[in-house]
């Protein structure tokens, strides 16, 4: 995209002049005369075209010496939908950087996960995004720092290390460069209250429209007891994070999703936010998805009725895969019951008023072995999957090569096409994953009279949400919401 900016200048300019929020996160507008960069929908008077340059990432704009606009807060834009939908090196790297891999493992660790040399990785990111992995991670640390400064009562030194900075000086310098103000001045303007220790509430932005019913309805209808629940208008669940565990409450509003996180270790903030955004598919481009699906006259009425459907995904690929195996050829209720037994027997306990456990890891299930309480054939399949995940023979992390993961998963005895496509859709984030053998999908296709799905590509995972909605199933309804 960085190399295409000159070719796309006119298109970007039209978006800026129209203050089109659909393009927020796709690119950033840098104004040479002011030295600031903005989101396309910035409410300020659009600058002259001769004074503008466009950047594919906030990190690119920062590297060029621009600071963030204080009015439109460009670092709080939704992420680019490209990183979720694409499967190439750059997109895989961006998903891992969002998850905090550079902060935890450095650039060598990121390159190793992706199977490329550090030089190849840096060259690819610089060519397309205008910044290398360190610059991209630095931009994310700056955003996390501002969230902590403005929403918590943490001391500024604690904010620095919780955000991933190596020193207080590095933290201070970065905040000054990116936001043209000091951490202390940001804190004074925000005047945060004193929330409970380890608690942060943030707004998760998304591109309009968003249809929350099936998204939250699916998560609640399939919720594993002790791990997930619907409580006081929010979906709550436990999170296994790199430095500890957490509990999140996600509540939909017309303009954003309110996200309240209780974390053992504040260093997990950026990873937790990235995983919650991935769970709710908040970086999607619903206008592009709906436009493609609406080209089919059979599907168009469903899209008009419920625009902006998202794909309910996951915060943990390993967990989703294990739950998919538990749900093979049984009802939703039976799958929940099996998962709940595993959680109670083998999951780590957490302290919370209502939730009780983390979902067990693959390693914990392998250690449980024959003690897994379920029919032998299903137990054998779960154990084969858990061993493959624990041994590293199967990787379902955000930066994985999706097709390779698909093939490895399909090669495991006892795992059929429905499970492979479910994992591809919800854990790997493949926007074109499709479930023709799923009962709800098959019934939906029959009700529509649809005999082919090629026109729905590359968004067939979103078409699945519309097909499911044709049935009378609780996954289609948010508790207290409409059908």
Residue 332 domain flag = yes
Do residues 96 and 41 both lie within one domain?
no
Do residues 113 and 127 both lie within one domain?
yes
Q: 259 an active-site residue?
A: no
Encode pLDDT of 323-362 as tens digits.
Answer: 999 998 888 888 899 999 999 999 999 999 999 999 999 9
Task: Kindly state the tokens that stand for 9.
Answer: 């200048």
What pLDDT score was predicted for residue 22?
Answer: 86
Do residues 102 and 171 both lie within one domain?
yes
Residues 6+ apart with CB under 8 A from 441: 434, 435, 464, 467, 468
Q: With b meaning 16 or more CB within 10 Å and e meaning fewer, what string describes 149-188?
A: bebbebebeebbebbbbeeeeebbebbeebbebebeebbe
What pLDDT score was predicted for residue 152?
Answer: 81
Residue 354: give the domain boundaries: 317-410
Q: What is the Cα–Cα distance from 347 to 319, expressed in whole angstroms?
A: 11
Do residues 32 and 55 both lie within one domain?
yes
Q: What is the mean pLDDT of residues 242-270?
A: 95
Residue 94 domain flag = yes
Do residues 343 and 371 both lie within one domain?
yes
Do residues 96 and 180 both lie within one domain?
yes
Residue 177 domain flag = yes
Q: 438 an active-site residue?
A: yes
| Marked catalytic residue, from 24, 283, 285, 438 | 438
Residue 57 domain flag = yes
Residue 169 domain flag = yes
Q: What is the mean pLDDT of residues 383-388?
A: 97
More confident residue, 309 or 149: 309
Confidence of residue 482 (pLDDT cuts 50, 70, 90): very low
Q: Give kind and range of the element (H or E) at residue 237.
A: strand 234-241
Long-range contacts (CB closer than 8 Å, 24 or more residues apart) made by 298-303: 298/448, 298/449, 298/450, 299/448, 299/450, 299/456, 299/463, 299/466, 302/466, 302/469, 302/470, 303/466
CATH label of the domain that carries residue 46: 3.40.10.10
CATH label of the domain that carries residue 176: 1.10.10.60
Confidence of residue 443 (pLDDT cuts 50, 70, 90): very high
Query: Could you say which of 39, 55, 76 is where a domain stops?
Result: 76
Residue 220 domain flag = no
Residue 350 domain flag = yes
Do residues 116 and 67 both lie within one domain?
no
Q: What is the Cα–Cα distance from 102 to 116, expressed in whole angstroms?
A: 15
Do residues 127 and 53 both lie within one domain?
no
What pLDDT score was predicted for residue 320?
Answer: 97
Residue 402 domain flag = yes
Do residues 86 and 186 both lie within one domain?
yes
More confident residue, 371 or 361: 361
| Marked catalytic residue, from 12, 24, 38, 285 | 38
Query: Could you say which of 190, 209, 243 is where a domain stops?
Result: 190
Query: Could you say which of 410, 429, 451 is where a domain stops?
Result: 410
Encode pLDDT of 51-88 as tens digits.
Answer: 999 999 999 999 999 999 999 999 888 888 988 888 99
Q: Give kind and range of the element (H or E) at residue 200.
A: strand 199-205
Do residues 93 and 125 both lie within one domain?
yes
CATH label of the domain that carries residue 340: 1.10.340.30
Angle, CA 285 vertex, CA 283 and CA 286 arms, to 5°: 120
Asked if residue 1 has pLDDT above 90, the reply is no
The count of domains in the chain is 3
């Amino acid at each position: 995209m960085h190399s295409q900016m000159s070719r796309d200048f006119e298109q970007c300019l039209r978006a800026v002049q129209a203050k089109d929020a659909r393009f927020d996160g796709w690119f950033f507008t840098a104004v040479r005369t002011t030295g600031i960069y903005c989101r396309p929908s910035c409410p300020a008077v659009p600058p002259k075209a001769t004074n503008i340059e466009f950047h594919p990432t906030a990190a690119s704009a920062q590297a060029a010496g621009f600071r963030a606009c204080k009015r439109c807060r460009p670092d709080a834009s939704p992420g680019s939908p490209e990183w979720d939908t694409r499967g190439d090196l750059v997109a895989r790297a961006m998903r891992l950087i969002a998850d905090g891999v550079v902060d935890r493992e450095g650039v060598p660790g990121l390159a190793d996960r992706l199977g490329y040399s550090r030089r190849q990785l840096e060259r690819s990111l610089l060519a397309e995004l205008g910044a290398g992995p360190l610059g991209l991670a630095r931009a994310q640390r700056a955003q996390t720092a501002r969230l902590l400064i403005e929403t918590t009562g943490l001391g500024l030194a604690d904010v620095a290390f919780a955000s991933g900075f190596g020193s207080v000086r590095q933290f201070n310098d970065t905040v000054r460069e990116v936001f043209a103000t000091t951490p202390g001045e940001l804190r004074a303007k925000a005047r945060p209250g004193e929330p409970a220790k380890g608690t942060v509430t943030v707004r998760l932005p998304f591109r309009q429209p968003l249809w929350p019913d099936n998204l939250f309805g699916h998560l609640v209808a399939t919720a594993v007891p002790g791990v997930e629940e619907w409580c006081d208008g929010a979906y709550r669940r436990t999170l296994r994070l790199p430095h500890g565990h957490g509990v999140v409450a996600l509540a939909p509003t017309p303009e954003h999703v309110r996200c309240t996180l209780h974390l053992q270790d504040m260093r997990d903030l950026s990873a937790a936010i990235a995983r919650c955004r991935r769970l709710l598919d908040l970086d999607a481009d619903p206008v592009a998805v709906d436009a493609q699906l609406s080209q089919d006259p059979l599907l168009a009425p469903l899209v008009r009725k419920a625009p902006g459907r998202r794909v309910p995904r996951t915060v943990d690929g390993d967990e989703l895969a294990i739950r998919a195996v538990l749900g093979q050829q049984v009802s939703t209720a039976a799958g929940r019951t099996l998962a709940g037994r595993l959680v109670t027997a083998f999951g780590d306990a957490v302290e919370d008023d209502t939730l009780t456990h983390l979902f067990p890891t693959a390693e914990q299930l392998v250690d449980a072995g024959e003690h897994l309480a379920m029919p032998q054939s299903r137990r054998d399949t779960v154990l084969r999957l858990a061993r493959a995940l624990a041994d590293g023979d199967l990787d379902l992390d955000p930066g994985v090569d999706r097709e390779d993961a698909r093939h490895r998963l399909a090669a495991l005895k006892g795992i059929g096409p429905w499970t492979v496509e479910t994992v591809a859709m919800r854990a790997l984030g493949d926007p074109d994953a499709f479930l023709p053998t799923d009962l709800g999908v098959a019934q939906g296709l029959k009700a529509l009279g649809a005999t082919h799905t090629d026109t729905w590509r590359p968004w067939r995972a979103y078409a699945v949400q519309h097909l499911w909605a044709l049935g009378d199933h609780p996954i289609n309804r948010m508790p207290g919401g409409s059908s």
